[in-house]
Amino acid sequence: MFKARKALSARAGKVLVANPQPQIQKVFDMVKAVPLNEIFTSVAEADAYLFAMQRKVVEGDEDD
């Protein structure tokens, strides 16, 4: 997880987590492995976030 986050952050990428098991969520919380805004309770929630981010980028490109 740490290695993936480091590699992706070098390219302005992110690791998103969807629906982690409770024990995994607890570990993330304890070691602060993944920021809370990158953890989603379901795949649908993650999809909605990604759609909103994509829409923001597309709409931003139209302003140029």
Q: Report the C-alpha gap between 57 and 50 in whole angstroms.
A: 11
| Distance, C-alpha 8 to centroid of its chain | 11
Predicted confidence (pLDDT) per residue in 3-60, tens digit: 888 888 888 888 888 888 899 888 878 877 677 778 898 999 999 999 998 898 888 7
Global pTM value: 0.61
| Distance, C-alpha 10 to centroid of its chain | 15
Q: Which runs of E-coded beta strand occur in the chain?
A: 17-18, 39-40
Q: Report the C-alpha gap between 64 and 60 in whole angstroms.
A: 7
Tell me the Cα Rg of the chain: 14
